[in-house]
Structure 1
Amino acid sequence: MDLGSKLEENDQFLQKLGKRDVDKCLDLNSCGLTTTDVRAMVALLPLLPNLEELDISWNDFVGGTLHSITQQMHVTSKLKILRLGSCRLTTEDVQALGEALEMIPELEELNLSWNSEVGGNLPLILQKFPTGSKIQMLELVDCALTPEDGAFVGQLLPSLQSLRVLDLSMNRSIGSSLYSIAQGLKCTSQLRALKLHLCGLSQTSIRILDAAFRCLGELRRLDLSCNKELGGGFEEAPAQLVMLNHLEALDLHQCSLTVDDVASLTQVIPLLSNLQELDLSANKKMGSSSENLLSRLRFLPSLKSLLINNSALESETFTALAEASIHLPALEILDLSWNKCVGGNLRLLLDALKLSTPLRVLRLSSCSLLTEDVALLASVIQMGHLARLQKLDLSYNDSVCDAGWAVFCQNMCCLQELTELDISLRPAHFRDCGQWFRHLLYSVTKLPTIAEIEMQRWTLPASQEEELKSFEQDHKRSVHFDYSGLQ
């Protein structure tokens, strides 16, 4: 009878949170748990002996109460996934967690991201990992890790033989302990993803990591982005980077790449034949030096995502990219935003995109597009060459006149899979919608999946606002129009 009563109470608890009955997975991520809810959850755990996944991330009230949860870990010994991201863990919570991990021998995934008290206390948590730990994913994003924590990670890595994913991103102080981390990485031959975004890496970091790359032959994802002091570190081509022949994603955005860096990477990147995702965005010196690199992207036939926005591309480099795009049959995502040279030259790219049937996302924000560019884009759309497009960003191209928007809106109905469209104006630039707005509304009636239309700073006269209201009432479509008239 007592057990039945507890089950009924727990059903009420789960129903309150909109959750179904659980057995192996209890996902309470972003549920706004109160201290009372935490107590209810603790009471629930002994009734879930087969629980394999527990996610209580993004619940502030977990902080200061974690000890009550960890005390029940002995009854959840089958737990494989534990996520505690952004729970405002205290030092006491961290210590309690360290003691509890001994009781979870099957743990494969641990996420402690966005808990600043982890920093300086990492050994308290991880030094009691059981011998022969099965941990495959360790995420410590933005945990205020200290150089000492970084050195500890390096010492710990050789014992984590099953590790597949290591994410130390947004810990700016661990760059100084990178040598220790790299030494540990040499012992993690099964690693699939290494993420060091915004970790305070310097020019010497590339040489340190290059020594470890030789032992990471299974690596699929490498993220070194937003390390602004990294510029100049690639000037001597990292020989071992070429050995990552299984690499599928390389992120070097906002790394202050120099002209010599680009020259060295030109010798390396085209040899990564399995590369599917490449992000070189926000490297301003690429504009005048990347012609050869972009031209040689033709040797990456598996490339699905190419992000090169805000890179100060020039006409020659854009031409090289456009010509190489013809040889990228798998391309699904292309972002060229904030490259002014695209304006007036878009036809070069559109000739290539006619062959890119899988293209899902095209971003051309703030590219100084001209009316003729948008008209050409409309023509390509009309011919059905971008039929798979789902997201299209043409925002901040204020030079396009009403006639250009009219031609575009008349033909956008051919984008049958489109879900998001952005044609917003620049901040502080306001314009009345022209007669093209009616063409836009008509096309929306023909688009079955459209959900979001960004039109910020376009203003609707009273008559057009009435048209929009009538459209929403008549068609009962859940399309969100974001325009200045809502302010």
Structure 2
Amino acid sequence: MEKTDDIQSCQGKQEEDIPKSSPFGFVIKQFQGKRSSPGKRKEQPSAIKKFFRGFDFGKSEGKDRREIEETEINNSGADDESKKQDLSVEDGLSHLISEAESPSGEQRFNQFMQKLGKKPNSKNLDLNNCALSAADITELASLLPFLPELEEISLSWNGCVGGTLKALTVHLHHVNLLRVLRLNSCRLTAEDVTSLGEAFEIVSQLEELDLSWNSNIGGKLSLLTKKIQKGCKLKLLKITDCNLTAKDGESLAEILSVIPNLEVLDLSINKHIGCSMKIIAQDLKNVPGLKELNLHMCGLKQDSLQGLDTALQHLAELRKLDISCNKEIGGGFKDSTAHLASLKNLEVLDLHQCCVTEEDVTVLSQVIPLLSSLQELNLSSNKSVGVSSDPLLGRLRFLPKLKSVAISNCGLGEESLSSLAEAALHLPELEILDLSWNKCVGGNLKLLLGALKLATEIQVLRLSSCNLVAEDLALLMLLTEDGHLARLRKLDLSYNNSISDEGWVVFCQGLAVFKELSELDVSLRPLSCRDCGPWFSKLLAALTKLPALTELGMQRWVLSESQRKRLESFNQDNKRNIRFDC
């Protein structure tokens, strides 16, 4: 009796321990009910009864044996059925507990992102430069079914993505809202490119694809392009520095007719694709909404420039044209600008390092002023711009929307600098002016005095290697005293070894007025060195009054041990994080 009471007492406690609100309470009660219900389970024969069944107590042996066998069979069947029911309930309970303990898809995704040090975002999956492994890619693929709202995937700068992309692309049907896919520098293989092509049949909403810096794509682009079907919604396609061949250029030209919504095409740093540029240009008419065309360092030649100019008549919406660092197009502008002037919406024109000739400058001086919407113009590293007698720089006055003018290393003389200064008087929105590597600026910065007074929006001023002298720095400080250059954020005075210590003293004394200045470079030229002299203390005092400054370049200035310590303690004492480049 005592054991029976103990068992009943224990069962009672187990029931009490289960909260009524528990999702398993009902199942457990059912389980206990099935095991204790007298109507559904036969009483088990005791060991004593089983022992005495083998003896004759006056009944017929045959009859008794049959009755005993029938009873045992019946009892055995009932017992088996009961065990089956008990096991079924136990299995159900175990399954419920397992489901409750296993993490949901959302929890798994959060754990995955936390492991990589990223914040989970169900719409934008940013895993750039996360040192992903092949196992990570497989795990990520298994999570895609739980991310139905995903719109962007960025896996750039993860070399291990190469060779594993198929594990991911086969699951892209779970994210049919995907619009952006970035795979920069992932070491993609031919198999990856094939898998990506097959995925185009699945991700019908894809608008942006960036495959830049995957050199193995070269010669294999057709594995992707042949899968792109009519109706593709691509708006952006970037294949920068992918070692593309002339044959890749032909494959690209073939798909332009099936991606009519294309707005951005970037083929930069593919120096062999210039051979097929005439073919590509012929099919650019199929993307009339193109807004940005980047052909930087593509090996363009004069004939490809002519083909490109013919295509421009179909690209009325073009906003940016970059054909920089194509040295072999020099001398070809005289026959290739007929349609450039028609780009009334063009905002950015980059022609730096194109080896333009004086004859080219003459043509450009007639065309560029007609680009009424132009905001950024880069003519840097074209020496003929400065020596040409044609007034190209003077005619920039007809472009009042100009915000950025880069004429670095253009061989400017006093005459061309004066022309620029006069034009700048008509550029009220100018924000960036780069005159670096033009030696004539030194001693002649006064020519720009009027323009710098009117340029109330100027934020970046680059005067590196301009042979500046102390008088030029004094002029800058004079402007600041009158409230000019108040919005200046970046000032580059590097490689001006000709500035005396007195000039640096004057500059540092007035430096504190640049309240918005974030970057300052006063480095010396390579292979030179010089003591900071008396202006170091003035500089340190000014730094305390420049709350926005984050970068200070002081290369090749020789600092004493005490000066170094003062620089190092400055950040700590003022709770600043200025990076001193000494």
Residue in 2 aligned with 1:86? 185
Q: Is the 8 A contact 1:105 1:130 kept in 2?
A: no
Please state how far the C-alpha of 1:21 moved relative to its aligned partner. Answer: 2.1
Please state how far the C-alpha of 1:280 moved relative to its aligned partner. Answer: 0.4
SS where residue 381 of structure 1 aligns? helix
- Are 1:321 and 2:420 counterparts? yes
Please state how far the C-alpha of 1:480 moved relative to its aligned partner. Answer: 1.2
> Alignment partner for residue 157 of structure 1, among 249, 252, 256?
256
Q: Distance in 2 between matches of 1:110 and 1:466?
A: 49
Q: Distance in 1 between matches of 2:507 and 2:450?
A: 17
Amino acid aligned to 2:470: T
Note closer, same or farther for the CA distance 1:14–1:383 as it changes in structure 2 (3 Å cut): same
Instruction: Work out which structure has the larger RCO, using CA pairs closer than 8 Å and 6 or more positions apart in sequence.
Output: 1
Q: Distance in 2 between matches of 1:64 and 1:475?
A: 50
> Alignment partner for residue 420 of structure 1, among 519, 539, 543?
519
Residue in 1 aligned with 2:564? 465
Q: Distance in 2 between matches of 1:470 and 1:145?
A: 51
- Are 1:97 and 2:196 counterparts? yes
Q: Is the 8 A contact 1:237 1:267 kept in 2?
A: no
Note closer, same or farther for the CA distance 1:70–1:98 as it changes in structure 2 (3 Å cut): same
Q: Is the 8 A contact 1:179 1:208 kept in 2?
A: yes
Q: Distance in 1 between matches of 2:426 and 2:128?
A: 43
Q: Is the 8 A contact 2:305 2:336 kept in 1?
A: no
Please state how far the C-alpha of 1:24 moved relative to its aligned partner. Answer: 1.2
Please state how far the C-alpha of 1:348 moved relative to its aligned partner. Answer: 0.8
TM-score, normalised by the number of residues in structure 1: 0.97
Please state how far the C-alpha of 1:285 moved relative to its aligned partner. Answer: 1.9
Q: Is the 8 A contact 2:246 2:274 kept in 1?
A: yes
Residue in 2 aligned with 1:276? 375
Map 1:11-160 to 2 at 5 A.
11-160=110-259
Please state how far the C-alpha of 1:291 moved relative to its aligned partner. Answer: 5.1
Compare 280-289 and 266-275 and name the one that shifted more: 280-289
Q: Is the 8 A contact 1:415 1:447 kept in 2?
A: yes
Map 1:67-466 to 2 at 5 A.
67-236=166-335, 238-289=337-388, 292-466=391-565
Q: Deviations over 1:237-273 (max 9, x none)?
A: 6111111000000000000000000000000000101
Q: Distance in 2 between matches of 1:5 and 1:266?
A: 65
Please state how far the C-alpha of 1:314 moved relative to its aligned partner. Answer: 1.2
Amino acid aligned to 1:142: D
Q: Please identify which structure carries the higher helix content.
A: 2
Note closer, same or farther for the CA distance 1:225–1:290 as it changes in structure 2 (3 Å cut): farther
Please state how far the C-alpha of 1:210 moved relative to its aligned partner. Answer: 1.3
Q: Distance in 2 between matches of 1:18 and 1:373?
A: 49
Compare 344-353 and 390-399 and name the one that shifted more: 344-353
Compare 40-49 and 421-430 and name the one that shifted more: 40-49
Q: Is the 8 A contact 1:381 1:414 kept in 2?
A: yes
Q: Is the 8 A contact 2:324 2:354 kept in 1?
A: yes
Amino acid aligned to 2:526: P
Q: Is the 8 A contact 1:326 1:352 kept in 2?
A: yes
Please state how far the C-alpha of 1:5 moved relative to its aligned partner. Answer: 4.3
Please state how far the C-alpha of 1:40 moved relative to its aligned partner. Answer: 2.3
Q: Distance in 2 between matches of 1:6 and 1:370?
A: 66
Q: Distance in 1 between matches of 2:382 and 2:434?
A: 14
Please state how far the C-alpha of 1:205 moved relative to its aligned partner. Answer: 2.0
Count matched residues.
483
> Structure 1: any 5+ residue segments left out of the alignment?
none
Q: Distance in 2 between matches of 1:167 and 1:470?
A: 46
Amino acid aligned to 1:398: N
Note closer, same or farther for the CA distance 1:340–1:476 as it changes in structure 2 (3 Å cut): same
Q: Deviations over 1:430-479 (max 9, x none)?
A: 11111211111111111111000000001112232233234333212111
Residue in 2 aligned with 1:474? 573
Please state how far the C-alpha of 1:382 moved relative to its aligned partner. Answer: 2.4
Amino acid aligned to 2:474: A
TM-score, normalised by the number of residues in structure 2: 0.81
Note closer, same or farther for the CA distance 1:384–1:291 as it changes in structure 2 (3 Å cut): farther
Q: Distance in 1 between matches of 2:304 and 2:229?
A: 31
Q: Distance in 2 between matches of 1:173 and 1:49?
A: 41
SS where residue 69 of structure 1 aligns? helix
Amino acid aligned to 1:152: S
Residue in 2 aligned with 1:8? 107
Q: Distance in 2 between matches of 1:240 and 1:97?
A: 37
Q: Distance in 2 between matches of 1:154 and 1:94?
A: 18
Please state how far the C-alpha of 1:50 moved relative to its aligned partner. Answer: 1.4
Q: Deviations over 1:103-140 (max 9, x none)?
A: 01101001111111211111111221232111000101
Q: Distance in 2 between matches of 1:448 and 1:83?
A: 36
Note closer, same or farther for the CA distance 1:148–1:254 as it changes in structure 2 (3 Å cut): same
RMSD: 1.3
Q: Distance in 2 between matches of 1:324 and 1:291?
A: 14
SS where residue 349 of structure 2 aligns? strand
Note closer, same or farther for the CA distance 1:316–1:291 as it changes in structure 2 (3 Å cut): farther
Please state how far the C-alpha of 1:290 moved relative to its aligned partner. Answer: 6.1
Please state how far the C-alpha of 1:394 moved relative to its aligned partner. Answer: 0.1
Q: Distance in 2 between matches of 1:177 and 1:466?
A: 58
Q: Deviations over 1:125-183 (max 9, x none)?
A: 12212321110001011111111111121121121110000111111111111121111
